[in-house]
Amino acid sequence: MRRSFPFLLFLIMSIVVVSCNQEQDKAQAKKQQDSLLLMQEDSLLNVFKTEFETISQTMKEVNAENGIFNLDTSESKVLSKETIIGQVQNLDKLLESKQSQLNDLFKRMKESKVRNEEMEDMISSMRESLANRESQINELMTMLTNKDVKLDAILSRVDSVRITNIELTEEVIKMDEEMHTVYYVVGNAKELKDSRITTKKGGVLGIGLAKKLDVSKLDLSLFTESDQRDLTSVPLYSNKAKLITNHPEASYDFVLDSDGKVETLTVLNRKSFWAATDILVIEVAN
């Protein structure tokens, strides 16, 4: 019996060690899986944003100056119902095409289970706006096909559609600006902690277990607001610099001056740099 006790104790300890190792392996495997899923979601969301950006760019051209409604009667040009019908049909086809693309984009976002409330709101808002414009165009086409309606009445309705197209363009421009708005801040370790931008552990306040940044926990008034398309570099002029937020290393570069000091942060690949977050926190040391 005395001989069996050490063996039994060894067996129990072995089981405990194996069990602990298995739990650690499971935790590590889950962590890697969560990280991989997060990367896939960020990549897919970036694809959706690019598609929406392309649609927005086209919609910004839908206004009175882009030739869709070119109703110039100078130089003895004769304005007829047929001329207006042709231009209205062109606009109708364009809006219908963009509506279809937005519907498809919205559907794929839902099916992918990628959640981005801001992006979904923008798509929904633009879909609604386009639906209203198409309704106006249908009314205009009804007028155009009515032989009893005079040209002056048609031109009045065309002006109404023209105005709403300008409003749509302004709305899309606003959405486009919001989609590309980013925030950045530069400071030393103490300044960032005192401002409650970073935590005692050095991470950004508002980053959870999944490494997603909760912007609502940050005071954005402490940040500089910019358009990511214009923000190609950030001046630093410090001895050392490092990024606290998550940005792929290949997407940026620290430019040194002749004395070896960090002069600027240069963004090399805009879409890749801002793919994971719209927040940039740079810690510097002098």
Q: Domain residue spans in the chain?
A: 37-179, 181-285
Q: Tens of pLDDT along the chain (286 residues)?
A: 455 656 666 666 666 665 656 666 555 555 455 444 455 666 677 777 888 888 877 776 665 444 455 555 444 455 566 777 777 777 788 888 888 888 888 888 888 777 777 778 888 888 888 887 777 777 777 777 776 667 677 777 777 776 777 677 777 777 778 888 999 999 998 888 888 888 766 667 656 544 456 566 788 899 999 999 999 999 999 999 999 888 989 999 999 998 889 999 999 999 889 888 888 999 998 8
Q: How many Å apart are CA 123 and CA 233, to the nearest integer? A: 30
**Residue 148: enclosing H or E segment and its boundaries?**
none
Q: Are 95 and 133 in contact (CB under 8 A)?
A: yes
DSSP-derived letter for residue 216 is: G
Helix (H, G, I), strand (E, B) or coil at 234: strand
Using a 10 angstrom Cβ sphere, with 0-12 exposed, 13-18 middle and 19 or more buried, the burial of residue 140 is buried
Ramachandran area for residue 76 (φ above 0: left; ψ -120 to 50: alpha; else beta): left
Element at 136 (helix H, strand E): helix 117-144
Give the angle subtended at the CA of 247 by the CAs of 243 and 252, to the nearest 5°: 80
CA separation for the pair 81, 202 (Å, rounded): 68
Q: Are 222 and 192 in contact (CB under 8 A)?
A: no
Residue 135 structure tokens: 């309704």
Distance of CA 210 to the CA centre of its chain: 19
Would you say 145 and 193 are in contact if contact means Cβ atoms under 8 Å apart?
Answer: no
For 115-160, write each residue's pLDDT tens digit.
777 778 888 888 888 887 777 777 777 777 776 667 677 777 777 7
Question: Which stretches does DSSP call E strand in the chain?
Answer: 181-187, 224-227, 233-238, 240-243, 252-256, 262-267, 279-285
Query: What is d(CA 262, CA 123) in angstroms, rounded to the nearest whole number?
Result: 40
- The tokens for 101 are 């693309």
Q: Which of 218, 224, 170, 176 is nearest to 198 (CA)?
A: 218
